[in-house]
Structure 1
């Protein structure tokens, strides 16, 4: 998920800057949210809205917080308000688009992500492109999704989320050497997840590198024993 990165990116993208209390509370709310101090984040974001109920970035940040609290109805309400207040806000388009895609409203989400990812004024197009790629996968548009991920990596060659998606795509296409390459690039900027270990083990197994495949399997079982990937790999015969 790109949640904290997306929030910090868009909350810092306000078109105007001031030193009033609403901005102070907004900045504190975002900072606490990035630290996963959710109660303090909520307190400050609500204060920002109390001072100015039309604060787009406060609505955007609060929506993000409600996502983390697993309250999607409240999250959607604040995203909708943020978008109504500032329809061309790139951060809102990206966050709300991702949210809609993750909650099954794929066409609506992709429309917002397309706007955010195609706008040349967006200095984080790679973020929106990665979200669009994931939405495309949910829509069954695998080739288009791959195009989005590749575009994201052209803009930011070290973006871990896009690299992990390309590892998976390469493996599923049977291009195991490419999957290895994307994993190596990913590990240069991030740590393993259950999914990267699963695909790493499967790619090495497909290439006949049984010892390395077992190393990845053991690492998966050691680091993420309760993950779905760990359960799947235990069930694989002749590993």
Structure 2
């Protein structure tokens, strides 16, 4: 997965916990002692805060510190299922698949109907070669009326259906993600562009690609590669050369650029 997509999916599945420690009210304060705030007064609050910190460190690209924070969270409250779910994502990123599976299973045992847990485990399955099995967990997440980001689950379902070769289902899920998205659904648009390219609908593919490129900076390797191939289909040699130059300059070691060097355009 490229850097842009990884960041997008991390934001999609990391519980949406981006609030700061200061946002929590359950802190003890003893001005007579040190004049400083102490930690939260109950185990669940400590677990919640350290899980949020772990999630933020993970999104910032520091999985080691994230694991430390999540360990502290679970030491405070071993039944805090969100911590297991986030730790599963961190371990997935480190390719510690066995440990990640254990974390997700524990989270599911504690909260089998939680939408974020289902969404995260679905992503784990998708990333470990079980794309078709993953879809059911995304759909389970969507059953919850309290799920705040259903567009993310639809995007994930579309991504995994696409990987499984089910273009019809992938297109349907991704279009639903666009309808529900609050942030432009860049990943969904790019994947729809790829689906329409695969179907031979190059004009529709070009429209979705153009929309996604307006929202991403810098453009990703897969977006540039798709643009290159679309311009090649159209006979636009100048456009093709421009995409090739960007691909070489930004992502010279990417699989996409290696395919370009080999002349594998399909």
2:53 aligns to what? Answer: 28
Which ranges of structure 1 fall in alignment gaps of 5 or more residues? none
Matches within 5 A, 1:72-151: 72-151=97-176
Q: What's the offset of the Cα at 1:106?
A: 3.3
Q: Deviations over 1:95-125 (max 9, x none)?
A: 1011112212334311111111344432211
- What TM-score does the superposition give when structure 2 sets the normalisation length? 0.82
What's the offset of the Cα at 1:167?
1.2
Number of residue pairs aligned between Structure 1 and Structure 2: 235
DSSP 3-state at the match of 1:88: coil
Structure 1 equivalent of residue 12 of structure 2: 6
Q: Which residue of 2 aligns with 1:227?
A: 254
- Contact 2:10/2:59 (8 A) holds in 1: yes
Whether the 8 Å contact between 2:18 and 2:56 is mirrored in structure 1 is: no
Residue 106 of structure 2 aligns to a residue whose secondary structure is helix
Tell whether 2:63 aligns with 1:57: no
**1:164 alignment partner in structure 2:** 190
Distance 1:29 1:237, change over 3 A: closer
Change (3 A) 1:77 1:88: same
Aligned partner of 2:37 in structure 1 is none
Q: What is the CA-CA distance between 1:80 and the residue it aligns to?
A: 0.6
CA–CA distance in 1 between the matches of 2:56 and 2:207? 35
CA shift at 1:39, angstroms? 2.0
Unaligned regions of 5+ residues in structure 2, if any?
A: 1-5, 20-24, 27-39
Over aligned residues, Cα RMSD in angstroms?
Answer: 2.2
* 1:76 Cα deviation from its structure 2 partner: 0.8
Question: Paired residue for 1:195, among 217, 222, 240?
Answer: 222
Query: In the alignment, which of 188, 192, 203 is matched to residue 177 of structure 1?
Result: 203
Larger CA Rg, structure 1 vs 2: 2
CA-to-aligned-CA distance 1:199-218 (integer Å, 9 cap, x gap)? 10111111121111111111
Distance 1:206 1:90, change over 3 A: same
